Amino acid sequence: MEKKTRKDYGAAGLLPLLIFLVLYVGCLAVFTIKGAKDPSSYMPRQVAILVALLFALIFFEPRAKFAKKMNIYLNNAGNAGVMNLSLIVMMAGGFSSAVTISGGQSSIVNLGTSLIPSQFLVPGIFLIAAIISLCIGTSTGTIVTMAPVTFSLVAAAHLNAGMAGAAVITGSYFGDGLSMIGGTTISAAAGVGARMRDKFLWQIKIAVPAAVITIFIYTLMSLNNSSASNIHAGSYNIITILPYLVVLILAVMGMDVVLVLALGTVMASAIGMALGKASLFACAKAIGNGMESMFWLAIFAMMVNGMVALMRHYGGIDWMVHVFTRHIKSKASCEALIGILSFCVTGAIVNNNISVLITSPIAKELGDQYQVDKKVLAGVISIFAVTASMVIPQDSAMMMTLQLAGKSTNYLDLIRYMVYPVVLMGLTFIVNYINAKRSAA
């Protein structure tokens, strides 16, 4: 009965989302132009989404009981999918911190650096960053770890700073949208109802060839570079890297991610204590800090999911799906449109995790209508979200890289050498088009 009596606001039902984007992105742009030190801190994303949520609750259906609208919000903000997502992202933060305190993060960087021939440092930087990001599931952690090493190598070996910077940024995002413990993967899979294992196996068939082509191109570009001969990697311990490998293998085998992360965290902590790197309580504190660092994503996911439910109730999501559907002629165009939408939303809000949370419900509606496989939906959303993050100037990875690079490079120089996102998007369009044609035949 509710669906028959509720008022359909059409495009106006999307006003809460518009308010969030104006507040968050608008303030970010203004303070960035003003040269503020931390432009994103002036209008925190949590405050922006809270204002948008309150607008959705108060100004729509003013004659309806407020409790009725709150029930719509609460039933969706706290649904099983969101609760599962919240637990997983917090456990992923705890796992990452446990491995770091045990020495695993520094070991995997030093191991990779020691295995790369000096004349191929730029493609090597991309490869190492890709492997690390796949293991730890975050571009931020990879950039924090790899960027200082990268620009130390740039200075020592007289490498092309723009090429090296582009390699570390794009390599860091390789695993961000692919890793089984990455927030983007978790959010995309949960948002459209796909199994993370299926999404991973579909996406890796595109991401790995794109990475191989990128390494080949970087190798060709680097052939004329003279390499430094006295570059020594730091020490590493293979044992401390084992939790990364165990987590990756068990996740690919299909074990529940909660169990995978629990085993990985216990293993990393045990290794750290056995090697004398941390006590039991130091490990517990590190795990707690890692979980705490992910609280914002868990809470934000709840608020976004509840707000999206309200926008759907007011007719906004249906209107958007209808508008997009008018331009969709086939399964291939549906997949392409979802990718473009994910790219645009990420570029607007400068956070691929948040954009995935916003895009997933819309993608699921379109995917259900055109019978797009859920693993393809999740993969396309992830691919285009991280691709946008690689190239936007206000992304944290880009800003951190430019800060560490100093005067050795600039944004336009980095963009010149952004090979991976171009190849990745191109392959995704080609693969989806071919698959759609085969399924239609």
State pLDDT tens for residues 86-98.
Answer: 887 788 888 888 9
Nearest to 214 by CA among 440, 441, 1, 427: 427
Cβ-contact 148, 267 below 8 angstroms: no
Place of tokens 């092309």: 160
Which residues contact residue 136 at a Cβ distance below 8 angstroms, ignoring those fewer than 6 apart? 96, 99, 105, 142, 175, 179, 181, 244
Q: Per-residue pLDDT for 431 more than 90?
A: no
Q: Per-residue pLDDT for 176 more than 70?
A: yes
Q: Per-residue pLDDT for 1 more than 50?
A: no
Instruction: For residues 144-170, give the mean pLDDT.
Output: 75
The pTM assigned to this predicted structure is 0.66
Read off the amino acid at residue 314: Y
Task: Give one DSSP letter per residue of 364-426, joined into a string.
Answer: HHHHHHHT--HHHHHHHHHHHHHHHHHH-TTSHHHHHHHHHHTTS--HHHHHHT-HHHHHHHH
Half-sphere exposure of 14 (CA within 13 A, CB side): 15
Q: Per-residue pLDDT for 227 more than 50?
A: no
For 285-302, write each residue's pLDDT tens digit: 999 998 887 787 778 778
For 333-371, write each residue's pLDDT tens digit: 788 888 888 887 777 665 777 778 878 888 887 787 777
Select the more confidently predicted residue: 126 or 297.
126
Residue 203: both structure tokens together: 């996406």
Q: Percentage of the chain surpassing pLDDT 90?
A: 16
Place of tokens 């999911």: 305
User: What's the confidence (pLDDT) of residue 30?
Assistant: 85
Residue 414: both structure tokens together: 């980095």
Read off the amino acid at residue 329: K
For 67-77, write each residue's pLDDT tens digit: 999 999 998 88
User: What's the confidence (pLDDT) of residue 210?
Assistant: 94
Task: Let me know the angle formed at the C-alpha of 36 by 32 and 42, rounded to the nearest 5 degrees.
Answer: 85
Per the prediction, the chain carries an average pLDDT of 80
User: What's the confidence (pLDDT) of residue 120?
Assistant: 78
**DSSP designation for 334:** H
d(CA 326, CA 333): 11
d(CA 288, CA 123): 36
Q: Which secondary structure element, helix H or strand E, spans residue 87, and what is its range? A: helix 80-101
Place of tokens 């606001």: 9
User: What's the confidence (pLDDT) of residue 216?
Assistant: 92
For 24-62, write each residue's pLDDT tens digit: 778 877 887 887 777 767 888 789 889 999 999 999 998
User: What's the confidence (pLDDT) of residue 156?
Assistant: 58
Q: CA dihedral defined by 145, 151, 157, 161, rounded to 10 degrees?
A: 130
d(CA 185, CA 381): 9
